[in-house]
Structure 1
């Protein structure tokens, strides 16, 4: 009887965990960048870790969720698929995102799963860019936002050694706002003083995804941040402000426990910061508070 009870409990956990993959959370983060002026305000929609093979949110559902946000800029922070035959499916999401017509465009970086395509990742990039989205692979782009220059620095996947931080930051302007897209948040640990980064957006960890056993992530080789329980939300690491999305899709199994698919809206402003710290305002669930992690 005890074994039947254990099996029933495990079955209930799996059913609940699968149900969670259909329950996205829309989070809002309000970020003031100190000691800089002129930006006014820009609303950035971040999507991460779509994982075509294990994604329970349809393109239409995604559109219905994010269309009311009316973002100025859309960024995607890696891990769209594992397999070549899912490129068409991934492009449907790219087209959906592009149809929102953000004023400043749509920018992407690749994650470790995308690089499982091998040499065909170049073909994937061409297909993405045919939709009007732009992929940044260890490179940057600069444009004007209300009279202030914004530079987006796209760092390729750090987990598989595809990143070139020096190349990514080469020849970027000294002034303006520097927004970094890096799938693997551990990228921040290898950044140096001359790498200008006002705000870093990443994903990769899925918020732990299946948090049945506490602290199991510390031993799964996810890098230095996960060993310090930095898996999601807003943090200050080595003086740099970093946001880690829990992502929309799942890796391995299509289940989530203690984590839900996340869509994030970041509202960036410039000016003074009250109490000297970045602020995060949750819409549905509390966000991880900003903490100084000592790196």
Structure 2
């Protein structure tokens, strides 16, 4: 009898975990950049870890969710796919996201799974650019936000050793706002003090994805040093740099999520004399209220 009970419990747990993959959260995060000026409520939507191989949210629904946020800028922080035959599928998602038509465009970086394409990643990058999205591979792009320069610094995947931080910063101006896109949050550990970063956006960890055993991430290998310090999701200050880790929209391994939900993040950036920054990380649930979208 106990085996039947265990089997039924496991079945229900997996069913609930699979159901969670269809239940994205639209999460609001407000960030004030201190000692700078010229930025007034810039709304940035971050999408991360779409993982075409295990993606439960349709392209049309993703478009609706992103459009509802009315972003000024869309950024995407890696891990879109890992198989060549899914490039066309990913491009369909990008077409729907592109239809949102944010004022300042769409900027992307690659993650470790994207590099499983090998040399075919160049073909993928060309297809992304052909759609009018910008893929940053250890490079930067400066755009004008009402007279204030915003430099987007795209660092390629740190996990597989594809990152070149020095090259990424080669043409970065001193003035203005510096927004860093880096798929692997551990990138921050390799950044030097003179690598200007007002805000770093990343993904990679999926918020643990299947959190059946508390704190298992502390001992799991392959995710680098930050999870060992319980830096797994949400907003953190690491080595004096403010970092946000998205839980992502897709799944890796199994198409399940437990105590984690697919996430679309809406970052509202502004400048001012003071910023809400703490060395002790608040849980994601303690940030600005999330709008759960069925």
Output the TM-score relative to the length of structure 1: 0.94
Q: Matched residues in 1 for 2:273 and 2:289: separation?
A: 21
Q: Secondary structure at the match of 1:82?
A: coil
Structure 1 position 133 matched with structure 2 position 140: no
Matches within 5 A, 1:197-276: 197-221=197-221, 222-273=223-274
Q: Secondary structure at the match of 2:22?
A: coil
Per the TM alignment, residue 218 of structure 1 is displaced from its structure 2 partner at its CA by 1.9
Q: Deviations over 1:111-153 (max 9, x none)?
A: 0000000000000000111110010000000011011000000
Structure 1 position 67 matched with structure 2 position 76: no
Q: Deviations over 1:43-68 (max 9, x none)?
A: 00000000000000001111111212
Counterpart for residue 87 of structure 2: 87
Q: Matched residues in 2 for 1:276 and 1:64: separation?
A: 31
CA contact (8 A) 2:33 2:275 kept: no
Moved more, 15-24 or 37-46: 37-46
CA contact (8 A) 1:21 1:261 kept: yes
Per the TM alignment, residue 41 of structure 1 is displaced from its structure 2 partner at its CA by 2.2
Per the TM alignment, residue 214 of structure 1 is displaced from its structure 2 partner at its CA by 1.4
CA contact (8 A) 1:39 1:147 kept: no
Q: Matched residues in 2 for 1:63 and 1:217: separation?
A: 32
Q: Matched residues in 1 for 2:63 and 2:127: separation?
A: 21
CA contact (8 A) 1:40 1:146 kept: no
Counterpart for residue 160 of structure 2: 160
Counterpart for residue 176 of structure 2: 176
Structure 1 position 13 matched with structure 2 position 19: no
Q: Matched residues in 1 for 2:140 and 2:255: separation?
A: 34
Moved more, 242-251 or 57-66: 57-66
Q: Secondary structure at the match of 1:117?
A: helix
Q: Matched residues in 2 for 1:243 and 1:276: separation?
A: 12
Q: Secondary structure at the match of 1:97?
A: helix
Q: Secondary structure at the match of 2:43?
A: strand
Q: Are the structure 2 counterparts of residues 63 and 281 from structure 1 closer, same or farther at C-alpha, using a change threshold of 3 Å?
A: same
Q: Matched residues in 1 for 2:209 and 2:76: separation?
A: 19
Q: Are the structure 2 counterparts of residues 123 and 281 from structure 1 closer, same or farther at C-alpha, using a change threshold of 3 Å?
A: same
Per the TM alignment, residue 98 of structure 1 is displaced from its structure 2 partner at its CA by 1.0
Q: Matched residues in 1 for 2:76 and 2:97: separation?
A: 10
Q: Deviations over 1:57-115 (max 9, x none)?
A: 00111111121211000000000001000000000111111111111100000000000
Q: Are the structure 2 counterparts of residues 239 and 123 from structure 1 closer, same or farther at C-alpha, using a change threshold of 3 Å?
A: same
Q: Deviations over 1:183-219 (max 9, x none)?
A: 0000000100110000000000000000001121122
Q: Matched residues in 2 for 1:178 and 1:66: separation?
A: 23
Which sections of structure 2, spanning at least 5 residues, go unmatched? none
Q: How many residues align?
A: 285
